[in-house]
Amino acid sequence: MALLKGRGVAAIKPKFTARPSKCRASPSLLALTSAALALPGLMLPPAHAAFEGGEFNFQYGRYEEGGGTQSQFRNKDNDIQVDSLETSGEIDLTDRLRFRANFIQDTWVGATPITTAPAAAVRFNPNAQTGASPFFDLRGGVVNFDIDTGQGSATIPGTFESVITAETVHVMAEASPETRKQGDFNLSYEWDEAALDLGGGISLEDDYESRYFSLGGRWDFNQKLTTLTGGVGYINSTIDALRFPFRVTSVPVDPEGEVNPDFPDWSVRVNDRRTDTSVNLGLTQVLDKNSVFKAGFGYTHSSGFLSNVYKESVFFVPLETPGMSWLFTRYDKRPEEREQFNWNIGYSRYLAGLDAALHFNYNFFHDDWGINAHTFDVSWGQPIGGGWTITPTVRYYSQSAADFYSPFFIVDQGPFSVGEILANQSQLPTPDHFSSDHRLSAFGALSGGVTLSKQFAKGVTLEAGFEYYTHAGSLKLGGGGTGDFADFNYFLANALLKVDLSALSHSGGGYGEHEHPSGHAEHSDYAPAGVMFDHMLKIPGHFMVGYRYRYSRHGGDTLHGAQAVNDLAIVNNACGDNPCQVTSEHMNMHMHMLDLMYAPTDWLNVMLMPMFMDMDMGLRELEGAPPPDPDAVGGHSHAIEGGGHATGGLGDTRLFALVKLLDSPRHHLHLGLGISAPTGDVDIKVEGMEINENSPDFGKPLFLHYGMQLGSGTWDFLPNLTYTGGLERWSWGGQLSGTLRLESENSSGFSFGDIFQATAWGGYSLFNWLSASVRGIYTIQGGINGQFNGPTPNSAPVDFPDNYGGRFWDVGFGLNASTLGGGLKGNRLSFEWIQPVRDDVNGFQLEREGTLFVTWDLAF
């Protein structure tokens, strides 16, 4: 069960996320699988079926938004990208008690419009492609916009031509990458004809936090032909957002202050709360052996700060001069209460003659803001043999506008003189509530997609899906939608791996300590969690699936070589010919990797290893730094005020072949030959608002630091040689590995240095299910070759290629646990902490504080 609010999206599965719409994409890409075609409401908890063992799911999704009506006043598409990762696990604690944990991570780049306005009232910046600089700069003060005709004159960029236009356009901006993380749990107890679910979780991002609680239940009766469901949910959210003063007004907003004393509603920082309370009821009725009917009702009450903290609305005040108006803006102001109602019905029919299933669903949404919405979706599930199933889906959505929505607002008082307006700016009239967020407008949406799934033996399912969506005012049911300035489209692609651990145990797919297909007689023969490619599958035809998590942190002192240095040394020496202005204070990196291994023969294993990662960096001003050069490229001041930089998404994808060289009862040796494909983005940029306005690069994006790009951007060769051995309770091993760049530069103009690593370890079995390990690690990493081939910040050490690479010494401490019996037999869970011992870095770099590895795997 979950509450979903604020963005006009519906979830394909229970989730909670209660953040307001900001100038970005929707809160969870996995939630977007429903094509954003239903407004928020309460999702009904799924009926649970008891089973032994558990399951593990790993899902990745990619959302890209584009389109938009283009004209001479807007020459750029919508540009939003979202990468999303979800991992979940479920285990049976007893035959009736089940626990489920879920982790979701969304990273997005891009933004939705700040506001909308007549083209005659905006000034186009042809260089603005990203960053805090709008694609359109609003003209402040007096504008040649006639509120009676809705027309005004505007100048075409690059010419002296002035044209009369009534076109409405989005005022666009983009922001740096940002990541949201969500963790939740569910505890379910099953009786013969009933179930009770208890859930909770938290969603975290820089400017918004949500915590939720849910309680739900299910009751089966009428010989289990009828099922009633119900539940309640509560979300408490905190908004802590920094509003940058890109508003248009003749009265400045002080970015250093909390509140402008003359305009208290223009506070720079918003710190407020909202709550969402919900209840739902559902009915499922089996009509006959081939048909099922469902109906549900949901109610949500929201209160507190419900406005969008990053949206603005444009107002026009008529002046005494005919055809001229005074323009001013105000931040989005919505009611502080919202009542939302959802009704839904669904019908599913199995068609025996076609061996297919038809699903039809209808949802009606209503709230007291004046929005009424209809959602129709139809899907067809068709098995096509060999364990394959194809499911095409078509969905249509339509909504009316909120009572307080308008693309822009015209004050119905006046005309006024400019002097009168300047003397009474704080009292300029506005409605009680107003918003120009196009997601509150009247529109329709149509989407179509297809999902292809493959059911393998022993409980493994692979699924891939694609959906294309178009949003347009003209698609509104009955007509009357908003103008085409708000039209856009997107596509969503995702892939899912599901491992049913109960099916593995029932099929004999799990393995104990003496029968594992890797050929290891004792579980202590496994290497520590941070060592990759430590073993091979021995039996042809067997698989292994694993999940690998890595967290590393940099912080503390800045090093030059092996010595800590002070701020003045950084200022004078770390930024080339320019003095440094800022430096990194900390950097966190999270990596999630899926390990898929298959043994076509007893001497060859092949592996596929997709990777998802995110990073965040905090920045601070350097003591003793001179004032910044107004003509220099900056790129960090905004980041310091906003909390730093962040990025995330799909990393590079690795393909490996492991070849057995030696295999005896006590000694194992194999060779690994791998290729890293450059699927990680190396073109990630940040806002460029600090570039001097007279520069030809004004408004253009700046590359994010080298170390925060998501991949190498080059094809890389990854060889390794691994030896392992064991005797009774003891185990040992060593590995040599390297990374060789096969290209001299990537698409962004640089290449990372080669890497060589040597490691050795020893382990001891404390119990028959638990072992401990210690290992040493030595790493050499070369510096960066080349540099970014575009505008780049030059005010911090991380902006310069000379400050990357070095030599590093570490020691690791690990634990390795295996399940030896029951429904989870054959699972292995390992932990390892890597403690830095010595750093000898190139240039100036922040010292390392440590790395945590967590791995899980199961062979079958």
pLDDT at 847: 95
Whether 539 is in a domain gets the answer yes
pLDDT digits (tens, 9 = 90+) for 687-732: 654 455 556 665 567 888 999 999 999 999 999 999 999 998 999 9
Whether 515 is in a domain gets the answer yes
Cα–Cα distances in angstroms (integers) from residue 748 to residues 680, 681, 788, 789, in the given order: 12, 10, 5, 6
Q: What is the CA radius of gyration of the chain?
A: 29
Helix (H) or strand (E) segment spanning residue 501: helix 501-506
pLDDT digits (tens, 9 = 90+) for 236-259: 999 987 665 544 443 333 444 444
The single-letter DSSP state of residue 581 is -
Contact 392, 379 (CB under 8 A): yes
Whether 841 is in a domain gets the answer yes
Q: What percent of the chain has a predicted confidence (pLDDT) above 90?
A: 52
pLDDT at 48: 36
Q: CA angle, corner 668, sides to 662 and 673, nearest 5? A: 75
How many other β-carbons are positioned within 10 Å of the β-carbon of residue 217? 18
Q: Is 709 strand, coil or helix? A: coil
Helix (H) or strand (E) segment spanning residue 505: helix 501-506
Contact 315, 410 (CB under 8 A): yes
pLDDT for 509 beyond 70: no
pLDDT at 260: 47
Joined together, the tokens standing for residue 405 give: 């929505």
Rounded distance between C-alpha atoms, residue 568 and residue 474, angstroms? 61
Mean pLDDT, range 629-640, rounded to an integer: 56
CA neighbor of 415 nearest in space, from 327, 323, 328, 317: 317
pLDDT at 12: 27
Mean pLDDT, range 574-587, rounded to an integer: 91
pLDDT for 276 beyond 60: yes
pLDDT digits (tens, 9 = 90+) for 645-657: 888 889 999 999 9
Joined together, the tokens standing for residue 117 give: 């306005």
Rounded distance between C-alpha atoms, residue 525 and residue 686, angstroms? 46
Burial class of residue 458 in the structure, from the number of CB atoms within 10 Å of its CB (0-12 exposed, 13-18 middle, 19+ buried) = middle
CATH code of 584's domain: 2.40.128.130
pLDDT band for position 165 (cuts 50, 70, 90): confident
Nearby residues of 526 by Cβ (< 8 Å), 6 or more positions away: 520, 534, 535, 731, 763, 771, 816, 828, 830
Whether 436 is in a domain gets the answer no
pLDDT for 232 beyond 60: yes
Counting Cα atoms < 13 Å in the Cβ hemisphere of 223 gives: 3
The string of DSSP codes covering 525-553 is: GSPPTT-SS-----STT-EEEEEEEEEEE
Contact 284, 47 (CB under 8 A): yes
pLDDT at 651: 93
pLDDT at 242: 67
pLDDT band for position 795 (cuts 50, 70, 90): confident
pLDDT at 186: 94
Cα–Cα distances in angstroms (integers) from residue 739 to residues 425, 561, 593, 596, 781, in the given order: 62, 23, 18, 21, 9
Domain containing 601 equals 508-859
pLDDT at 205: 85
pLDDT for 635 beyond 60: no
Contact 636, 619 (CB under 8 A): yes
pLDDT band for position 359 (cuts 50, 70, 90): very high
Q: Which of 406-420, 542-556, 753-767 has the lowest mean pLDDT?
A: 406-420
pLDDT at 821: 63
Whether 144 is in a domain gets the answer no
Beta-strand pair 312-318/409-410: parallel
Bond prior to 177 in cis (omega within 30° of 0) = no
pLDDT at 79: 75
Cα–Cα distances in angstroms (integers) from residue 757 to residues 288, 528, 778, 806, 810, in the given order: 64, 15, 6, 12, 11
755 vs 173, more confident: 755
pLDDT at 11: 28
pLDDT at 633: 53
Average pLDDT, the chain: 83
Mean pLDDT, range 365-386, rounded to an integer: 96
pLDDT for 153 beyond 80: yes
pLDDT at 428: 82
Rounded distance between C-alpha atoms, residue 162 and residue 153, angstroms? 6
pLDDT digits (tens, 9 = 90+) for 589-607: 999 999 999 999 999 999 9
571 vs 264, more confident: 571
Q: Which of 208-217, 305-314, 568-577, 684-693 has the lowest mean pLDDT?
A: 684-693
pLDDT band for position 501 (cuts 50, 70, 90): confident
pLDDT digits (tens, 9 = 90+) for 71-120: 777 666 677 888 999 999 888 888 899 999 999 998 888 767 888 888 88
CA neighbor of 142 nearest in space, from 506, 418, 368, 500: 418
Cα–Cα distances in angstroms (integers) from residue 297 to residues 33, 72, 228, 399, 608, in the given order: 22, 47, 12, 19, 44
Whether 321 is in a domain gets the answer no
Q: Which of 519-528, 585-594, 694-703, 744-753 has the lowest mean pLDDT?
A: 519-528
Counting Cα atoms < 13 Å in the Cβ hemisphere of 813 gives: 4
Whether 591 is in a domain gets the answer yes
Number of domains in the chain: 1
Q: Which of 456-470, 594-608, 754-768 has the lowest mean pLDDT?
A: 456-470
pLDDT for 133 beyond 60: no
Nearby residues of 502 by Cβ (< 8 Å), 6 or more positions away: 51, 52, 53, 54, 55, 92, 459, 823
Rounded distance between C-alpha atoms, residue 689 and residue 699, angstroms? 6
CA neighbor of 343 nearest in space, from 371, 369, 362: 362
pLDDT for 196 beyond 60: yes
Mean pLDDT, range 561-577, rounded to an integer: 93
Helix (H) or strand (E) segment spanning residue 374: strand 372-385
Helix (H) or strand (E) segment spanning residue 586: strand 582-598
Whether 582 is in a domain gets the answer yes
pLDDT at 688: 52
Residues 405, 406, 412, 414, CA torsion sign: positive
Contact 140, 327 (CB under 8 A): yes
Residues 265, 269, 273, 274, CA torsion sign: positive
Mean pLDDT, range 273-302, rounded to an integer: 96
HEC-encoded secondary structure of 747-809: CCCEECCCEEEEEEEEEEECCCCEEEEEEEEEEEECCCEECCCCCCCCCCHHHCHHHCCEEEE
Helix (H) or strand (E) segment spanning residue 422: helix 418-423
HEC-encoded secondary structure of 133-184: CCCEEECCEEECEECCCCEEEEECCCCCCEEEECCEEEECCCCCCEEEEEEE
pLDDT at 9: 30
pLDDT at 506: 47
pLDDT band for position 394 (cuts 50, 70, 90): very high
